[in-house]
Structure 1
């Protein structure tokens, strides 16, 4: 729980933390055996069906300028096709994904799942402005992020330019996280608080190689300024319980059904 009196972004209106963010939707073992892959229409639908209010996904742009939910920049991992998303037209991508749970565009996701909160990672440079424009009318239920600060800011600016009544929620890119972790590690709290300015969530791994990213001190500083801390990607049940006991506000997980059961059982 966040003690700060700072107003929460409406993105968080689905309930109090801890939150479960379905990483690329939800693909059960049964669905996977039938060929369903992450970030497909079926994966988002399954997350919705089991009651997961938050779906974390990724945005790329097709050759004909359509924003699609897709993690990788090519089709190799999920279909064996080596082509890049940016080289494939929408109708081609729909055909390729037809046996893998179905393609889902960002526009379709927002329309088909009006109660779902979407946590969108802008993966492709060319997708930043189109993503911002598409989410403008739904900014109250969208969080925009990217490993690239420039892409993240461009998407946010595009949403506001397109008439969003509220800025989408946001989480920082890699450079900001690095500054924050360094400031926390060296005990320079004012620098850490400045790094968190303008953010709604801090979405981080527990560790990055040998570096411990998540610490009790970081949690305290983030909570003091009203910023939620979400940890990715947590799939082990014992890790989930440990992090929830530590006080994190959200779990980004491929096992959204398991995490939701744990959260609801607390």
Structure 2
């Protein structure tokens, strides 16, 4: 916790140096936050990354979400990997004849001798990611909107801090620091997860498979695993990030 706090302080100091305000600009709770301190991306991440279908008013009407963040595509990729993991989970690893089935499924868990444990974990975390997506879709079609995001509009300069009952300059600055830090952390971490997931899957398969098997089965499944992990962990990260921001 001390390391995280030091990192937050350092990150905020670097931001202040870049913005040129040196922390001297006063924040008036009854006015919009100065432009150099605003975090304009606040409230947009759930829609931008396909976690929510609902598009908040803070996003321009002409904004087009990247096609690979389409919730239907995300649901498809997660479902594919979920069923793959469930099938691999129930195939016995005892007979040597079953090896080919694990190769067809790109099951790196089998290659490292942890088929049951890791496939079970994969089923759980992918299923939870699917449930999050289905829940947000259900809420959208029922007209239930993520109104909690509106309370953070002042961080992006869309409303005054006093509209969210934030009237203390020190608390506002503290919230800006934590928000800026957690957003950058999530942006970085989500991308790293995709890269690490691909390596985690491809590396054991490379040593277990022939070149043809790796190209036909290992490589495609490693890409699917990386994409599925990226989408699933992104949903986790951003939900926890906004919970962290709101709980400060």
User: TM-score scaled to structure 1, two decimals?
Assistant: 0.22
User: Which structure features the higher share of strand residues?
Assistant: 1
User: TM-score scaled to structure 2, two decimals?
Assistant: 0.23
User: Which structure features the higher share of helix residues?
Assistant: 2
Structure having the higher Rg: 2
More contact order relative to length (CA 8 Å, sep ≥ 6): 2
